[in-house]
């Protein structure tokens, strides 16, 4: 794995948080999403390669669930993340995935992707865009490494639609409480709630994609609009 120099204090803090979460990260995802996160990733993976398999970059791969979902559909995948501990968990899962599941792991920076122009047929990111400090720069990098006609598939969590009190209560109280019990890292799950609340709306993200030069932008809502996929074409 390629090791990069340290970046800003904020990024270092987020990296440290994920390094501590890594051993229990998957368990937290399954429990707090009521098991829905796996089906959300499968939906995103299918959108990344509607035709024949290709070469796909999964940014902010974490423990590589989305990368593996894409690879199981036949594509070759490069799984990139800035947290070595998360990547180590993903690499362990990759070794157990069986023949034909082709994932290469890389420690890297989403704001400075170490690939040449027009490399990938698709770029995916699952639940990671909220942690990227410069969205415009990230989207420019993604557009640079995508082939003409390539797909960007973004899976993300969003604040409750239509002001759902139950959903707001769940995010504010259940997620930090249960997440803290499962992982011993309650502050990390408080950050999760805060990052969802402060992130762009689906419409704002659509506008950001358009401003970055992407076209044919489609928003695909998943389960009560708590999660959505944005599909955009270079």
**pLDDT over 80 at 224, yes or no:** no
**pLDDT over 70 at 93, yes or no:** yes
* Lowest-confidence region among 31-35, 54-58, 83-87: 31-35
pLDDT of residue 29: 67
pLDDT of residue 198: 74
* Lowest-confidence region among 116-125, 129-138, 178-187: 178-187
pLDDT of residue 1: 41
Domain parsing of the chain, residue ranges: 9-233
What does the pLDDT average to over 49-55? 86
What does the pLDDT average to over 55-75? 96
Give residue-wise pLDDT tens across range 103-129: 999 999 999 999 999 999 999 999 999
Neighbours of 182 (CB within 10 A): 19
pLDDT of residue 181: 58
Q: Which position has the higher pLDDT, 10 or 182?
A: 10
**pLDDT over 90 at 139, yes or no:** yes
Predicted TM-score (pTM) of the model is 0.85
pLDDT of residue 3: 41
pLDDT confidence of 231, banded at 50, 70, 90? very high
pLDDT confidence of 232, banded at 50, 70, 90? very high
pLDDT of residue 35: 78
Q: State the burial class of residue 166 (Cβ atoms within 10 Å of its Cβ: 0-12, 13-18, 19+).
A: exposed
CATH number listed for the domain at residues 9-233:
3.40.50.150
What are the phi and psi torsion angles at 219 (to 5°)? -105, 125
Q: Which position has the higher pLDDT, 164 or 144?
A: 144
What does the pLDDT average to over 4-30? 68
């Amino acid at each position: 794995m390629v090791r990069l120099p340290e970046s800003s204090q904020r990024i270092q803090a987020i990296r440290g948080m994920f390094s501590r979460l890594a051993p229990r990260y998957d368990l937290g995802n399954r429990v707090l999403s009521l098991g829905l996160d796996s089906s959300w990733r499968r939906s995103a993976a299918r959108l990344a390669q509607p035709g024949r398999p290709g070469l796909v970059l999964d940014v902010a791969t974490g423990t590589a669930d989305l990368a593996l979902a894409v690879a199981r559909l036949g594509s070759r995948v490069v799984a990139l993340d800035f947290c070595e501990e998360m990547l180590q968990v993903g690499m362990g899962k990759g070794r157990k995935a069986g023949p034909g599941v082709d994932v290469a792991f890389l420690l890297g920076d989403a704001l400075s992707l170490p690939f040449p122009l027009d490399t990938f047929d698709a770029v995916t990111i699952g639940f990671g865009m909220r942690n990227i400090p410069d969205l415009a720069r990230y989207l420019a990098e993604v557009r640079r490494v995508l082939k003409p006609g390539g797909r960007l598939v973004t899976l993300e969590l969003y604040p409750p639609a239509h002001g759902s009190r139950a959903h707001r209560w769940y995010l504010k109280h259940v997620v930090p409480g249960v997440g803290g019990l499962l992982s011993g890292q309650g502050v990390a799950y408080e950050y999760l709630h805060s990052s969802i609340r402060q992130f762009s709306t689906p419409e704002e993200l659509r506008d950001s994609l358009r401003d970055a030069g992407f076209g044919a932008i489609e928003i695909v809502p998943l389960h009560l609009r708590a999660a959505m996929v944005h599909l955009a074409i270079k």
